[in-house]
Structure formats: structure tokens, C-alpha cells
Amino acid sequence: MKQPIQCPATAAAETPERASRRRFITGAGGAAAGIAVAGIAMPNVSRAQTVSLRFQSTWPARDIFHEFAGDYASLVNKLAGGRLRLDMLPSGAVVGPLQLQDAVVKGTLDGGHGVTAYWYNRHPAFSLFGTPPALGWKADHVLGWVKYGGGQALYDELVQQVLKLDLVGFLTGPMPSQPLGWFRREITGPADMQGMRYRTVGLAAELAREMGVAVTVMGAGDIVPALDRGLLDGAEFNNPSSDRALGFQNVTRTYMVGSYHQSAEMFEIIFNKKRYDSLPEEMQTILRVAAEASSADMAWKAMDRYSADLEALKAEGVNVVKTPDSVLLAQLAAWDKVIAAKSADPFFQKVLDSQKQWARRILSFENEYAVRTDLAFQHFFGAPTPP
């Protein structure tokens, strides 16, 4: 067989060194082409991998609480870099505020933002994770218990073992002590509340009943209309910003502030557990860590907005009155009775024992260790003006 005739130039080009170079150039060209194709295709792949979760709050769109929920959703969306998105919805977009938990359990919604007191009828211990007894602590102290005192494990036990709900939840967002509420006339003592038609939620409802109050439980958007129509004699919601946005000042001018009925509340963020477990671990971490980060931001925003809105309410003619000590002492006595009755449930007692152990230790430290703030305030600003 004849051998193929090679051109001298071709033969020279096929030295081992040149052949190696040719293979490298060919491979590099293919790689460059692949990179070019990938550069076109990657945005489409990224969009295809985005997971969207329907996330509803239990708050009207005009309420600062819905804004807090939106802040959480925005932070999650930024941290996830387009791979995960919470689609934020206000109360009523899919279900009413008191139906949120059921909707998330069923998968009608993927998640939501609310308070545990709304699920009190499912189990009284739910309220311990949002509106616990007034042990002398504030919401930040309760969140410390959640994070480092065993509270999160007890919450998980209640949700997933005691009640077997298909939920994952995070507690977040410390609230300042709440007002006693809005009334048609000033409350001068416990007797003024006897027989009163009053709105509150959770364990606070049991507390009010112990004081002879007729309690009605309802969502935020229904309170002011009920008060306006005379269906309620008094009502509380939460804070100056929310109360002002909801329009309480348009139906009554007496605002009683300072109360032990809900002195240490926080929010709850929940997700359908199957949906949550289907997410990559990184995305689960974002949902959890964003709850902690937005918790801090919410506390700082509340300092700004609540104080400004209380001043605005005063300027609008609202009479802001401190709840008298006689009412506060009556509330504490009522707490004793509520705690004794509800502690017949072993899990309720288990959670409360844990809370008391934490509160006793950290408040003993704080009361002994921390400096007084009232003396410094009086030195620089004078005696505070009583509301």
C-alpha cells in the first residue's frame, strides 16, 4: 500500500510540540464556545430555579405590623439572591387573620407572619410563646429564653409533637409593653372594668375574664368598627403606630397606657413544614437567620415610630393616661388565678416552669447589676411629663 505523501510544511507542523499546541487551541476554542453558550443560558437557569413562597401576614396593609412582615420578606429575598422569593400578602388576601395557621398547615399558604396568641384556642400554651404572664420581664428577655433558655425546643415540641402540626416556626420581633387600651371614659380602678365589653386575645382574654370583663376576640381590622358601633366599650390592639393607623383616635380620645395583660409579646413567623423541608439547607438557614436580623431592625424601627406616633396622637387631642396601680395589682392577682387554672395541663406547666426559671435568673442579675435610668433622665431632661 502506498503511503500518503506529506507536504514538508505539514510534516513539520506535526511535531509533538505542535500537535500538543493544536489540541490546546482546539480545546480552548470549545471551552470558549461553551462559556459563551453558558453566559446566554445561565440567566434562564437561574430564573427556573427561583422558588416562590406565598407569605401572608395577619395584619391590614396599613398597619406597621404588615410593614414589619414586609421587612422580613424583603430581607429574605435579598439574601437569597433570586433563588428564593417570599411573595408578601396582607391579611385577607387569601384567608382572614385567625385562619392563617390552618391555611399554612394545609399548604394553601406557604408561610405567614402573626402572633401565637391567635392560636390560643388550639392549645393554651401557644400564648406562652407570645403573651406570657407578667413575670417582670420584657419581650427581649422572652426572646433570650427562646434562643438560650430552651424556649425554641419547647415551641417545636408543642407544634410538632403535642399538636402534630405540619409547621416550622420562628419567634421574632420584641414588642414594648402594650397599652390597656382605648376607652370611652378613663379607667380609675378595677371596678370600672366590671362587665365591660372588651377586645383582647390569648391568655390576656382569660386575665380580663378573671377581672369581670366580657371579652370578644377579633382581628385587627374589625376592632375600630366594633368600637365605633358600640359593640365594644373598650379595646386594645398593640402600640401607638398601629392604633393610630387603625383609627382608634377617631372613635374615642382616652388612651390608657401601661398594662400587665401583654407586657412581653413578640411575633411568630411560620412555614409549612413539608415546603420548608423541601428547600436546600442554605435557603432554610436564610429564612431562620433573616428572622433574627429583622427582629433587631424591628425593635429599632419601633423606637422611632412608636414614640413619634404617641406624640402625634397627643397633638391630635388624645388624652394619654397611665393605667393606675390599682388596676395593675388587680391584673397580677388575676394572673395568679389564670396560671393556677391553666397549669393543670402538663405541657403548659412545663413551659411555664422553664420561663420562670429563666426570668428569675436573668431579672435577678439585671435588677442587681444594671444602673437606674430614671435618675439620668431627670438630670439631663428634667422630670418626665406624666401622660
Per-residue pLDDT reduced to its tens digit, 132-178: 999 999 999 999 999 999 999 999 999 999 999 999 999 999 999 99
The amino acid that residue 202 corresponds to is G
pLDDT of residue 36 exceeding 90, the answer is: no
Helix count (H) and strand count (E) of the chain? 14, 11
Q: What share of the chain is helix, strand, coil (3-state, %, to 5)?
A: 55, 15, 30
| Residues paired with residue 214 on neighbouring β-strands, in sequence order | 197
Average pLDDT estimate for 284-313: 97
Please, what is the Cα angle at 255 between 250 and 258, to 5 degrees?
Answer: 150
Residue 128 CA to residue 261 CA, distance in Å, equals 12
Q: What is the pLDDT of residues 344-370, one digit of tens each?
A: 999 999 999 999 999 999 999 999 999
Confidence tier at 12 by pLDDT (50, 70, 90):
very low
- Pick the residue with more confidence: 330 or 386? 330
Residue 125 CA to residue 116 CA, distance in Å, equals 9
Residue 338 CA to residue 350 CA, distance in Å, equals 15
The amino acid that residue 196 corresponds to is M
Domains within the chain, CATH numbers bracketed: 47-174+265-303 (3.40.190.170)
Residue 356 CA to residue 380 CA, distance in Å, equals 36
Edge-to-edge strand ranges of the sheet holding 51-57: 84-89, 51-57, 111-114, 266-272, 167-174
Residue 331 CA to residue 158 CA, distance in Å, equals 27
CA dihedral sign, ordered 72, 73, 78, 83: positive
- By mean pLDDT, which of 40-49, 171-180, 240-249, 326-335 is the weakest? 40-49
